[in-house]
Structure 1
């Protein structure tokens, strides 16, 4: 069933490609980073299967291997289902752009062209949705999960921090800052899940986690997410200019966290995580990562303040306008909005230097990241303090702690007084 669905989806996709050649739209463009990462993962998976799990014709798979293959096919279709939904949403956004007369005149295609693609993509999405619904999540029960390498998490976290600092030093860009910020969100959320499991199993102080550490980690992830959104709006949707080693290090860290925390289609229970990895050791690894997060935020702030950063003119103009409006929210000015970018650069959407007002605002937002990261670092230090157990004082122990009374003097023989 899965094979037939994939073949039908492939046929529908080829038909859309032929139509694109005939109409000239959308034509070649930038690479969407998430879809590019999915494509790279599929290519790598295909290569690994061909190299290590190839089999001669006539030799069948064992029952566990067949169950794992079925689970893999379902995950592939689920990924394609999400991708087709994203493409449909993008087409809807493109169609909405025709509501603006100025935008409509600048477009070289018609609304009818977009509607035609929408209908075709909707067909792909519905077909994949039907196939996924038939097996999700029960078919994932047979998914193979090998033993977790106990050193993978620490090694991947160390490699990520190293590559992040190298990228900031050697290839600073809005794209580099966006990738680092977004991956920090994933790392902090995943690490928080491990620490929460440790707290539930009382490997660390549950009340300390509930009152201090948990809220601090959530706040730190929230601030990194805000920084990621700010950098993403200035970054072209194309990963070709981003350091490949940085992207790979981020993927490896996310994979190391996922293999511990995922159980089929849901998050693994704390007990399952504890079976896969030493949660006490994982909290030590995460403590070091939280310290690194604060240091990485400071390096990012230095880049935001001093590095020669450029970005496409249109998003730069839009972001700078939003910054100045926030700065002068109480100032009423009926004059036209100021322009920080030349009309020619705006028309070509050329890469331009970031205006000083925008730079200062971005650096300030990373200052909020640093503050939250420092708070999380302080709270995480409690994970490494082993509380001194209070003595268990029952009645017998209390008696043993008393100064014994003097022994009575031996009675001498003789008459009583």
Structure 2
């Protein structure tokens, strides 16, 4: 049974913005058709949320953004491109977040009950923050679709020189038209955001943090990830599992850093954990990157219950560790969670990290087939083969044929790549074990409020890892250009 979604409107919008950033970081040509198919749904859901918010501003930028997207969608239907196919998972989650937020707003502010005298100053600031977050999500998301479409057109131009058919290369001109409209969309959104982002976010209302929520979210995640990977160990679910666990390990480092600063945990123990925890962060990031490279909408979809559990983890962690525009101070983090809760939460996270590492390694070592798109297999395999000694003459070690690549069929992950996944899993088990064992003294060595000896310097805050799931993504600045402040 799927648990109820506990996230507030603000948390849903923050998560949508976060997912849009990840979509931009990972945008590539192969994802463009799915992104173009899903983008109109994202904008429509945002428009429904905008309409649900009371006291709409004038002029109404959302109507103009929606009109651009509707025109692009009608053109796609008329020209039959990109055609039918799977949606983009992250854009779909953004759309679902907008829809859920609209439902919450409608329940909070039914139309007959809305005040005719206008909102209070506090309500107006909160509404402005919600609208700003919504448009920023669309701005970043629209740019990610544009980047992916441009790369897709570039790939098709290269394919054109390989005697591809007209049906295969028709996306060159149609992709250019879509990019033009997305450029207009970005320009309009950036102009609206220019004087609002990120200052308007300071007016966002936040409920008082629930100190028990993070522990409950981690327990719920631990149970659900085991259930899902036992029944459906697909590339999508393995990617989501490793990405979320990387987020949890990152949060552990942030909590330890804050706890050591506020003398809530033993500084010597934190210093001892630091090196092991950084290695664990890197290993989870590496595993996440491998499964992300293998995932394709053609091969598998995210499990809905696992997706919701992951979203609750993100919301619960950010409620403790973040302010509207960035990472909270150690004082705030410690006060929100409670000093006595840091050590148990960290111990729980380190133990679940080791257990999940074993589960994932068992999946890759079992020999049971795991399906992936042949294009993804070919990319990873070619990199692996370049790192190995040349094969004897007449031996073809490449795991997929050209026909499978051109058709982008689904095939089992070959041993060449499973060996790489197996090695990554072994490293993950080793580093997670060291980190957990290093943290066994956290509960036994609580410092007094005023320690008699200087506290060793705590580990630095964790870096953003390549998988893009780190919690402390900085706000993007719209500037004067639709792509200012954004880079891949």
Q: Normalized against structure 1, the TM-score is what? A: 0.86
Q: 1:278 to 1:112 in 2, by over 3 A?
A: same
- The reply to whether residue 28 of structure 1 matches residue 87 of structure 2 is no
2:125 to 67, 72, 76: 67
2:382 to 321, 327, 347: 321
1:89 to 147, 160, 173: 147
Aligned residue number for residue 289 of structure 2:
229
- The reply to whether residue 169 of structure 1 matches residue 245 of structure 2 is no
Aligned residue number for residue 207 of structure 2:
146
| Larger relative contact order (CA 8 Å, sep ≥ 6) | 2
Aligned residue number for residue 34 of structure 2:
none
Within 2, Cα distance between the matches of 1:240 and 1:5?
A: 36
- The reply to whether residue 304 of structure 1 matches residue 360 of structure 2 is no
Shift of 1:348: 3.0
Within 2, Cα distance between the matches of 1:275 and 1:387?
A: 17
Q: 1:239 to 1:321 in 2, by over 3 A?
A: closer
Aligned residue number for residue 284 of structure 1:
344
- The reply to whether residue 48 of structure 1 matches residue 107 of structure 2 is no
Deviations 1:106-139 (A, max 9, x none): 5231533222221211111122122222111221
3-state SS of paired residue (1:135):
coil
Aligned residue number for residue 206 of structure 1:
267
Asked whether the 8 Å contact 1:163–1:246 carries over to 2, the reply is yes
Asked whether the 8 Å contact 1:198–1:204 carries over to 2, the reply is yes
Aligned residue number for residue 376 of structure 1:
435
Q: 1:145 to 1:387 in 2, by over 3 A?
A: closer
Aligned residue number for residue 217 of structure 1:
277
Alignment of 1:102-117 (within 5 A): 102=161, 105-106=164-165, 107-109=168-170, 111-117=172-178
Within 1, Cα distance between the matches of 2:195 and 2:393?
A: 59
Alignment of 1:228-267 (within 5 A): 228-237=288-297, 241-267=301-327
Asked whether the 8 Å contact 1:191–1:257 carries over to 2, the reply is no
3-state SS of paired residue (1:311):
strand
Within 1, Cα distance between the matches of 2:446 and 2:342?
A: 19
Aligned residue number for residue 191 of structure 1:
252
Q: 1:23 to 1:320 in 2, by over 3 A?
A: same
- The reply to whether residue 350 of structure 1 matches residue 413 of structure 2 is no
Deviations 1:320-353 (A, max 9, x none): 333233232xx37677853323555444322222
Asked whether the 8 Å contact 2:299–2:372 carries over to 1, the reply is no
Within 1, Cα distance between the matches of 2:220 and 2:318?
A: 17
Greater shift in the superposed pair: 338-347 or 280-289: 338-347
3-state SS of paired residue (1:383):
coil
3-state SS of paired residue (1:236):
coil
Backbone CA RMSD of aligned residues = 2.5
Q: 1:240 to 1:387 in 2, by over 3 A?
A: closer
Aligned residue number for residue 13 of structure 1:
69
Within 1, Cα distance between the matches of 2:102 and 2:417?
A: 44
Shift of 1:242: 2.4
Shift of 1:280: 3.1
**Greater percentage in helix:** 1
3-state SS of paired residue (1:84):
helix
3-state SS of paired residue (1:358):
helix
Q: 1:134 to 1:48 in 2, by over 3 A?
A: same
3-state SS of paired residue (1:352):
strand
Q: Normalized against structure 2, the TM-score is what? A: 0.74
Matched residue count: 389
Deviations 1:141-178 (A, max 9, x none): 11111111121100100000111111111111111111
Uncovered stretches (5+) of structure 1, i.e. residues with no partner: 393-417
